[in-house]
Amino acid sequence: MKIFNKILSKIKTAWSLLFFAMKGADNVIFGHTDDNGNTILERHDTAGGVYNDLLEQKVTQEVEELRDKNYRVLREADLYNTDDIGLIMDTDGNISEFKHDGRLTKKTKHKLKLQVPVYDSENAIIVQDNRIYENRNGGITSLYAYDTTLDVYRDGIIPRFYIEKFVTKIVIREHNIENKAYVDLYVPSEASQFGKIDAMLIANIYRMWSSNNYRSDITDIIGLEFISNKAWGTEDLFQYKFKSPSLVDIKIFDGHFVLVFDCEIDIFGKYLPEKFKTTALDKKYMEKAPKSDIFKVEPNNFKKKTFLK
């Protein structure tokens, strides 16, 4: 029971900080308002303030601690599913009531796994959606060209197709050899009706698959890298880098060609914001120093709290 109360307290703290940051951002963007709802013009870049340091891009202790705190809050908040949480706001924009605040649940691999069809899912370690957003400007010639989370390294070769622009999903699977992993790149196996580039790419991969001849400039690469973003099996902002990838198999699964690369692990799960961690903030948490921006999660507190004076 003590562990449950400790976790619940931690959740409430992260939740409070999240709404504090959101309210603060609103005040910076829209400014404070008077009784008639008109925006009051204010300066937030007061001398010596942390916001002035941010505007001038000064790296002070306060700036470092603020950045470190934000990363910690985002990392903690991402561990929980808040889909059932609702907010009721009054006409003044103040939070008047939380709906279903007792339904905050920890994310589980099982629930996410049911929603992500993956080849050889029992051995899957990480599943990353590679599509940041669809590039609709080139939609007529290439429906499957995306802005991508995947970086592919080549040895000076200019390929006919940059395959990372067509990969919809990246899956890391276990290997039977230490310090190695299988990296699966998912490419759609069907072209769009008006697609030209994606149709040619798919035709090339189909030829490789049907002939069992995997030599191609499309897959002639020397390294793969991505940073996790809303992935299954890992938290956000973790770096994964693989070297010496060798295409060893092509499978057809769930409307995709699955290009299986046998890779050596270069970096596996390096938390990038760790370099921003401050010993000063660690000391404050350890000593339980007063933190004016942390308060109990109660609707009335959001009305009483003064933001960004």
Specify the range with the lowest mean pLDDT, choosing from 90-94, 126-130, 170-174, 279-283: 90-94
Predicted confidence (pLDDT) per residue in 296-309, tens digit? 555 555 444 443 33
More reliable by pLDDT, 87 or 14? 87
Same domain, 163 and 294: no
Same domain, 151 and 75: no
More reliable by pLDDT, 104 or 192? 192
Say whether pLDDT at 213 is over 80: yes
CB 120 within 8 A of CB 174: no
pTM of the predicted model as reported, rounded to 2 decimal places: 0.68
**What's the rounded mean pLDDT across residues 173-191?**
94
Specify the range with the lowest mean pLDDT, choosing from 44-53, 79-88, 141-150, 237-246: 44-53
Same domain, 133 and 37: no
Helix, coil or strand: residue 159: coil
Give the whole-angstrom CA distance, residue 64 versus residue 281: 9
Say whether pLDDT at 285 is over 90: no
Same domain, 247 and 190: yes
**Residue 76: CB partners within 8 Å, gap ≥ 6?**
10, 11, 14
Same domain, 284 and 266: no
Give the whole-angstrom CA distance, residue 98 versus residue 7: 19
Give the whole-angstrom CA distance, residue 169 versus residue 184: 8
Give the whole-angstrom CA distance, residue 259 versus residue 257: 6
More reliable by pLDDT, 45 or 156? 156
- Does residue 178 fall inside a structural domain? yes
Domain that holds residue 31: 2-106+278-304
- Does residue 309 fall inside a structural domain? no
